[in-house]
Amino acid sequence: MKRAEWNEGLNHIDTDIIENYVEQKDKYISISKRKRTWLKIGALAACFCLIASIIVIPTAFKTEDPLYHPFNSDSNFILPSISVISTGTEINGKTHIVSGDNDTDNGSASKIPEGFYVHTVVQANVIEVLQDLYYTPSRGAAGKYRIARLEIVDPIIGEKMPREINLRFSGYSADIFEKHDTFIFSLNQIGIENYMMINDTKNEVEYFPDMFEVEIDILRYGSVIPFKDGKVDYSFGGSWSFPSNLSPLSGEYTIENVKKRIIDLSQNKEDYFVHLSTSPDYVTIDDVFSAEECKQIKNCILPTESNIFMHNIAVHSNRVVVNYTRVINGFETDEKIVVTVYSKDKGNVTREGEAYTPEELSRMPNIGEVLENINLDEIRSPRIDNLDGIKHKRVSADGCYRKREGKVYGIVRIIWWCDFSTVYSVGYEQDARYYLYDAEGNGKIVKGEKLEELFGGHWLIP
Amino acid sequence: MKIQQKQTLKTPVNDEKIIELYWLRDEKAIEETDFKYKNYLFSIAYNIVHEKSDSEECLNDTYLGAWNSMPPTRPNILKAFLTTIVRRVSINRYHSNSRKGRVPSEMTVCLSELENFISDDNDVDAEFDAQRLGSIISDFVRGLSKRKRFIFLSRYYVADPIDTIAKNMNLSRSTVDKELAAIRSALKEKLESEGYYI
């Protein structure tokens, strides 16, 4: 029997079996939560002391190969704590608020009901691909990017676009931009005019105005369409495939036919899964803080020495919504400020999560220091001896802050990465080890489920 | 795997109301489904395809599948209904990705456990009768004890990692391993008796 046949057979088992299974699973999970026990604090405190006393082994970075990604190597790595810029930046007479990463994940970053982000579809040529690797201040090595400068040839869907923009991209090799004449991109605007990134090789902060990102979920199966000699070039690499919903109704896959199809689809409101906004505009900082209620909070989200507010934006037909998430010393918190702007005169501000007070900000558990002092080589993966064929490759550590019921916590996560027989690595979230720190810096090892109890929901570090 | 669910004051709507929204062709049905079941469905998709973007596409396809099925379907248990859809959609994506040679997922691991009677080939024979095999597997599952049934479905239907199964059932990993070994042995016998060989 073949694998596909086996799976197809499983797809046809009786419905009542699955129904019973689902009910049984809910019961098991609910019973299992009640039976969990804690590790003794004394033993955990001993583990913490051991870890805190170990000297860090720094990761070596190769710099001669611009495409080399140091976190794909066999070495262990620690996602760094990044210090932030303490002042805003004056550019062209406008004040720009320094920001870190924009989380473009619709599902987790915000509670925008329709799940839309501003998206602009343009035909663009690549002017230049910068050779350096960049990463975002708030996410550290988790967000490694290349930057390409684009010239907008035709704003297919979108208004008020600048003539030149910066494109942040990952997962593509730079040479794809050299092989094609022109592209259609579906772009997600990020960083409202004030996006800053850290140059991996120089460790300097650089400012990139008009930053966009290629949005995978738009246009289905990819948001980049390359053209060569006026037609779609199917030799585009990797797992890319031409978005099936853009197939011209007749004729060849020329630039003009594809553009026409995109415009037709944008006017088709019946198709739930074609997220093409009807009024995508390029949003500026002045647009966001135009209403009185929104102006008042502008100073609240200015950066300080230890924290910034990273933000993402969504443009709807009747409003702009910006989510600001507090990031302390490079680690995300769960405090969000949501600014909604309906017009120049009307807007509102809401908060999600508990606010961090100035006193708390001056007294945070220093999880950056914990990360610096962890010797990841000394910590064994629970899977090494247990599962044939799974080879422990490396281990990583990262962290975040959370606040519940007036108490601030720092959380560090250790996660192991294993290899299958192919070249791919898997991070076993289920085996992740968590350390929970209070404001005084006392830490203990906890299970993921305890974090779920404390902080609600199915909780994982982003 | 990075999933984050933020705190919210919204409470989930009950399943009957959600099904009713589908029947009324109210798009809030999808919104409510997503709010209530997103993490659960995502975890199944991720067990199988092990890529966030693929998993999110599977989620979208699942909602589309649910939207297209209701009406005329009115499932008894919405969660189970969605489970079957997400599994089907994710398995299709899994096999498509396997042909390109890249799926380091829990599904790959659990299929390799069945190598005694399941071959590597991902293509389906034109004459293959999925309904019949489904029936045989259903018979087999009904013959298992409640505990073994749960373990079998957790491992081979939704591709839960063994540690997760052990945790859910408050068993040790080695106990689950042993149960799975016994299940596989019985399954092999059953399939061979029905004429299915590697």
Tell me: the pLDDT tens digits for A28-78? 777 665 554 333 333 344 444 444 333 332 332 223 332 333 333 444 555
Residue type, A189: Q
How far, in Å, CA of A146 to CA of A170, rounded?
6
Of the candidates B112, B107, B105, B113, the residue with the CA atom closest to the CA atom of residue B177: B113
- CA A180 → CA A153, A157, A229, A243, A247, distances in Å? 15, 22, 8, 18, 20
Nearest by CB to residue B133, choosing from A9, A29, A107, is A9
Tens of pLDDT, residues B54-90: 888 899 999 999 998 888 888 889 999 999 999 999 9
What pLDDT score does A107 carry? 26
DSSP string, A95-144: EE--B------HHHH---TT----EEEEEEEEEEE-SS-EEETTTEEEEE
**pLDDT band with cut points at 50, 70 and 90 for residue A86:** very low
Q: How many CA atoms lie within 13 A of A174 on its CB side?
A: 17
Nearest by CB to residue A422, choosing from B104, B118, B173, is B104
What pLDDT score does A60 carry? 29
**pLDDT band with cut points at 50, 70 and 90 for residue B141:** very high
Nearest by CB to residue B104, choosing from A14, A18, A425, is A425
Contact A12 B134 (CB under 8 A): yes
Six-digit token string for A8: 């197809």
The DSSP symbol for A206 reads E
The answer, yes or no, to whether ipTM is higher than 0.85 is yes
Contact B5 A458 (CB under 8 A): yes
How far, in Å, CA of B148 to CA of B160, rounded?
14
What pLDDT score does B19 carry? 92
**pLDDT band with cut points at 50, 70 and 90 for residue A203:** low
Chain A with chain B: Cβ pairs closer than 8 A: 196
Label residue A103 left, alpha or beta by phi (over 0 means left) and psi (-120 to 50 means alpha).
beta
Mutation target to probe the A interface, by most A beta carbons within 10 A, among B7, B82, B109, B135 is B7
What pLDDT score does A200 carry? 66
Tens of pLDDT, residues B11-62: 777 888 999 999 988 888 998 899 889 989 999 999 998 888 888 889 999 9
Six-digit token string for A343: 């017009």
Residue type, B43: S
The DSSP symbol for A398 reads E
3-state SS record for A256-321:
HHHHHHHHHHHCCCCCCCCCCCCCCECCCHHHHCCCHHHHCCCHHHCCCCCEEEEEEEEECCCCEE
Is the separation of the CB atoms in A64 and A272 below 8 Å?
Answer: no
Q: What percent of chain B has pLDDT over 90?
A: 24
Would you call A130 exposed, middle or buried from its count of C-beta atoms within 10 A (0-12, 13-18, 19+)?
middle
Tens of pLDDT, residues A390-446: 566 667 777 888 998 888 999 888 877 665 544 445 555 556 788 888 888 888 888
How far, in Å, CA of A394 to CA of A376, rounded?
9
